[in-house]
Every structure is written in C-alpha cells, then in structure tokens.
Amino acid sequence: MQIQTILNRLQKFKSFVYAGVRWGGSKEAPHLEIEVVERRNSRA
C-alpha cells in the first residue's frame, strides 16, 4: 500500500489533498516529505 493511500485513510483534510510523498533527510535521519495542496474548485 502506498504512503499517500495510508495518509488519505488516516488523516483527511476537507479542503486539501496529498500531492506527493518522497523521502528526505540523510541515512542517519531519514524522514518523509509530504506535499499538501489546496483542492481544486474548493470553497475553502
């Protein structure tokens, strides 16, 4: 299962969507970078 799918199941934002997920940091301290963007045509 993809990380983006898991995020959508666990944490939904009504006016935003997850646009991308990628690894960041270094081997010693890796982390995920998650891009959240405003949903198109939303009335936020």
**DSSP letter string, 1-43:** --HHHHHHHH---TTEEEEEEEEEE-SSSEEEEEEEEEPTT--
Q: What is the pLDDT of residue 34?
A: 92
Q: Is the pLDDT of residue 35 over 80?
A: yes
Domain annotation covers residue 43: no
Task: Print the domain residue range for 12.
Answer: 3-38
Per the DSSP assignment, residues forming a β-bridge with 34 are 21
With cut-offs at 50, 70 and 90, classify the pLDDT of residue 39: confident
Q: Is the pLDDT at 44 greater than 80, yes or no?
A: no
Tens-place pLDDT, residues 5-31: 888 888 878 888 888 899 999 999 999
For residue 40, the SS3 value is coil
Give the residues across from 37 on adjacent strands.
17
With 0.75 as the threshold, say if the pTM is over it: no
Would residue 44 count as lying in a domain? no
How many structural domains comprise the chain?
A: 1
Check residues 39 and 44 and name the one with the higher pLDDT: 39
Two structure tokens written together for 14: 């009504």
